[in-house]
Amino acid sequence: MKKFFTLLILSSLFLCSCSGSTQWMPHSYKKAAKIVYKQVPADFIPRKLTVVSAGDSLTQGVGDSTKTGGYLPYLKKMLEKEKGIKEAEFYNFGVQGNRTTQLMKRLQSPEVKSAISQADLVILTIGGNDIVKVLRDNITDLQFSDFTRGKEEYIVHLTQIMESITKENPNAKIVLVGLYNPFSKWFGNIKELDQIVGDWNSAGQSVIAHYPNAYFVHIDDLFNETSENLLYRDNFHPNDKGYKLIAQRLNQTLGERTLPDLERNSLMVSKEEN
C-alpha cells in the first residue's frame, strides 16, 4: 500500500510537468539605477563673493585719481561679469606705508579678523615697504647683504601673516600680489634693484608654496616690460592705468585657478542613469 501511494504521487508530478497550462517562469529582476554625480555649472546658482584686501598703499589705492581703492573697483567689475558671481563685496584694509610687521598686528584686530572669517578670498599686497626700510636704514653704507637679511625677515613675517589668515579661515583662498621695482628714479645708482625685487618675489613664492589654498601673482613684468608710463606723479605708486593692469592680471589668475576651486566646493547634484 505504501509503495502504491509513492507511485501515485510521482505520476501526478510527472503529469503536471507535461501539462501545457503550467509553465516554469524565471524570477524577474529590476535593474538597479546607478547614481552618478555631476559638477554644478559655474553659473548654476549665481553667488556672492566676499573679498578681503589687506596690505599697503597698493591696496589703499594711493595714486588712484578716483580715490576708490586702486585696483579694487576694476577687479570688482571684472569679477561681477563672471557667470557664477552675482556680486563681489570687497573689504579694503590697505594702509599706506605698512610693512609686514604692521600688517601682522592689524590682522589681530576684531574688525579684520571678523572680515577674514567670512571671506572667500583674501588678497595681499605687502613687502614693498620692507624693501624701503632696508634702503633707509642702510643708506649711508648700503650692501647687498642688507637686502639678504631683510629678505629672510620678510619670509618669517610673511609666514606669520599666512598662518594668521589660515587659522582664522582655513577655507579662504589667498592671493599674494608680487612686488615691482619703482625705485629707479630714487635709487638709480643701485643697479641690483631688479635682482633684489626678483629675489624677494621668489621668497614670497616659496612661502606661498606651503599653502594649498594660496597663489602668487607676478606684476613686475607689467611695469618693467613697457614704455608706457604706469606710475603716479610720485613715480612710486601705480596710476589709474597701472592699477587697471594689476586688476586684469589678478582677474586672469582668479579665473584660471581660484574661482574654479571655489566652484568645486559647491553642492553636487545627482542624476539617475537608466
Summarize pLDDT for 37-91 with one digit per residue, the tens.
444 454 556 689 999 999 999 999 999 999 999 999 999 999 999 888 899 999 9
Query: What span, in angstroms and rounded, lies between the C-alpha atoms of 95 and 75?
Result: 19
Residue 185: which pLDDT band, with cuts at 50, 70 and 90?
low
| Residues above pLDDT 90, as percent of the chain | 64
Please give the pLDDT value at position 73: 96
For residue 44, which of 85, 93, 1 has the smallest C-alpha distance? 85
Q: The cell 604692521 sits on which residue?
A: 102
Output b/e per residue, 65-78; b: 16+ Cβ within 10 A: eeeebbbbbbbbeb
Please give the pLDDT value at position 225: 85
Please give the pLDDT value at position 4: 40
Which residues are CB-contacts of 160 (< 8 A; sequence separation ≥ 6)? 100, 104
Q: The cell 545627482 sits on which residue?
A: 270
pTM above 0.75, yes or no: yes
Delineate the domains of the chain, giving CATH numbers in brackets: 47-263 (3.40.50.1110)
